[in-house]
Amino acid sequence: MTSRSGILAGGNFIIDHVKLIDAWPEQDMLTFIRSETSSNGGGPYNVLKDLAAMRVSYPLAAAGLVGKDANGDWILRDCQSTGIDITQLRQTNQAPTSYTDAMTVSGTGRRTFFHQLGANALLGESHFDFTRTQAKIFHLGYLMLLSEMDQLLDDGRTIASRVLEAAQTAGLLTSVDLVSADNPQFSQITAAALPFTDFLILNEIEAGKAAGLDIKSTPVDLAKIKTAAQKLLSQGVRREVIIHFEAGAIVAEKNGAVHHQSSLKLPAGFIAGATGAGDAFAAGYLHGTHENGSIPDRLKLAVCTAAMCLTHPTPSLGLKPVAECLELATELGFR
């Protein structure tokens, strides 16, 4: 039997237009755009670009849907230029390539997103063929931002849950990420996917919405976050729930073990932008998982890759090789 290797990431492929602004304006008021760049966007696209920048040694592949337009062509060329297999990254003339305008306040790194669903809304079960991959892990993102995949069926399942089941049947481990969106069916859409999810990676806002708990607080309440993680495990997650937040992250295992990792101590002026930091965390954690690292080692790398992402306003251009990301822990220390 051929051993599996590599990460196949499917779901949202987006062009991000990142604009650095002076401040967030009040309604009807004006603010200045100081700079702007266009880059990769969407969970799977960001994770793949991050892993490529981290110079991992295993294959990377994309599965998704983009438009037959200039933005779609740009995404295909960009993936190919970084060694990402685009066999299952298809084009359609039924919708434009998805894009997001990400407004980032220069002084704080806080961002707000304006999103065009585009071709991602049409991505469905027929666009995934797990017989054509020898990847070890299938990473799917983002639930709540994939209209067809999020569709609730008469049996309580979703299209996403069926895709995840197909991946597991083919022998892949599955990883799922969510997006922080206001969706009245947030918990139902998430719950449908959990029994077919090995690793659930999400932030504390998404964890609270998925678990039906109010866990967001300042400072962070670790007990509440652990409770949410354990509830999601009880709802079907097969191996681990990974919740990241500004001060760090926790991992709750199916066997009851819980691990905690603080984030890095970042000096003033370190943050150039926060776009893609959650995906960079996921990339670090998935790399450690692929390489059979211990959970503490995976968490350490994940908070380092998230911090490295913050050094650039775009989602992936701040990422460096794995060893350089880990050096941040020595240079900066943990909270």
Which of 98, 87, 4 is CA-nearest to residue 43?
98
pLDDT at position 290, please? 98
Residue 140 phi, psi dihedral angles, 5° rounding: -115, 130
What is the Cα–Cα distance from 120 to 44, expressed in whole angstroms?
Answer: 12
pLDDT at position 100, please? 86
What is the Cα–Cα distance from 234 to 183, expressed in whole angstroms?
Answer: 22
Instruction: Spell 88-112 as b/e; 16+ CB within 10 A means b.
Output: bbbbbeebbbbbbebbbbbeebebe
pLDDT at position 2, please? 57
- Residue 91: half-sphere exposure toward Cβ, Cα within 13 Å: 13
Instruction: Determine the average pLDDT of the residues in 107-125.
Output: 92
pLDDT at position 1, please? 40
pLDDT at position 267, please? 96
Q: Inform me whether the pLDDT recorded for 110 exceeds 70.
A: yes
Instruction: Decide: 46 and 306 in contact? Cβ < 8 Å.
Output: no
Q: Which amino acid would we find at residue 74? A: W
Q: List helix spans (H) across 152-212.
A: 159-169, 186-193, 204-211
3-41 pLDDT tens trace: 999 999 999 999 988 899 999 999 999 999 999 888 999
Least confident piece of the model among 118-122, 123-127, 280-284, 314-318: 314-318
Distance of CA 167 to the CA centre of its chain: 18
Least confident piece of the model among 49-53, 135-139, 219-223, 328-332: 219-223
CATH placement of domain 7-332: 3.40.1190.20
pLDDT at position 18, please? 81
